[in-house]
Amino acid sequence: MAEQVFPTKGNLINIKKSLALAKMGYELMDRKRNILIREIMQMIDSANSIKDVIDQTYAQAYFSLQRANITLGLCESIAQSTPIETGVSVTYRSVMGVEIPTVMLKESPVSLTYGFWGSNSQFDEAYICFSKVKTYTARLAEVENSIYRLAVAIKKTQKRANALKNIILPRFEEQVRYISNALEEKEREEFSRLKVIKAGKEKAKAKARK
């Protein structure tokens, strides 16, 4: 049922303007949603590829570390000599108003930070693999965080688009129909009233001529 509004031409004009704006808003929301969905699908494919590479690299790294532990004993003292990574930086780009992070890891050649005494080739291989994992992990963190942000934005956009499509637009359309019908009925009544008045005047003139 239409929300009761006073049926005037001014209200009809205003509601038609609101209806046009609501339609434009829905089109923009629908377009934004499609762009975000396309973006997130690309990132999901990228995340799956990175996860496969990370899994393989981690498996190789832990296998090499296990062999190093077997041949050298626990490698905790050697591992503590490796520096903490401080080359990570984060910037943001906007995709349809959604802030998407870009995680950058400063590239540097792999260099050994421990002595050869007390280590072996198995430990070297594990160290190199874990160094590779850092780069993949930074990329995966970027993609997964972007996917989460896009998913939240898509949910909000879908909610707003549904509200426009299922609530706002039908309400405005119903109000336009209600006012238009009321004005048409009023015009018909006015036309009938004028016809009656005209007929009465013509009848009075005819009597006067007689």
Q: What are 23-80's pLDDT values in tens digits?
A: 999 999 999 999 999 999 989 988 888 888 888 888 888 888 788 777 777 666 676 7
Distances in Å between the Cα of 7 and the Cα atoms of 13, 17, 25, 142 are 11, 15, 25, 55
What percent of the chain is modeled with pLDDT above 70? 86
| More confident: 168 or 189 | 168
Average pLDDT, the chain: 84
Residue by residue, what is the 3-state secondary structure of the chain? Answer: CCCCCCCCHHHHHHHHHHHHHHHHHHHHHHHHHHHHHHHHHHHHHHHHHHHHHHHHHHHHHHHHHHHHHHHHCCCHHHHCCCCCCCCEEEEEEEECCEEEEEEEECCCCCCCCCCCCCCCHHHHHHHHHHHHHHHHHHHHHHHHHHHHHHHHHHHHHHHHHHHHHHHHHHHHHHHHHHHHHHHHHHHHHHHHHHHHHHHHHHHHHHHHHC
- 1 pLDDT tier (thresholds 50, 70, 90): very low
- 100 pLDDT tier (thresholds 50, 70, 90): very high
Average pLDDT over every residue of 187-199: 76
Instruction: Please answer whether residues 175 and 18 qualify as being in contact, where contact means their C-beta atoms are separated by less than 8 angstroms.
Output: no
Say yes or no to pLDDT of 4 above 60: yes
- 194 pLDDT tier (thresholds 50, 70, 90): confident
- Tokens matching residue 33: 């949603």
- 19 pLDDT tier (thresholds 50, 70, 90): very high
CA dist 195 and 204 (Å) reads 14
pTM, two decimal places: 0.72
| More confident: 197 or 53 | 53
Distances in Å between the Cα of 195 and the Cα atoms of 120, 165, 182, 192, 205 are 110, 44, 20, 5, 15
- Tokens matching residue 164: 């426009």
Q: Can you list the domains of the chain with their CATH numbers?
A: 9-209 (1.10.287.3240)
Instruction: Please answer whether residues 80 and 119 qualify as being in contact, where contact means their C-beta atoms are separated by less than 8 angstroms.
Output: no
Q: What pLDDT is stored for residue 63 in this prediction? A: 85
Q: What pLDDT is stored for residue 128 in this prediction? A: 83
Count Cβ atoms within 10 A of the Cβ of residue 111 and give its class: 0-12 exposed, 13-18 middle, 19 or more buried.
Answer: exposed
Say yes or no to pLDDT of 112 above 90: no
Average pLDDT over every residue of 127-150: 88
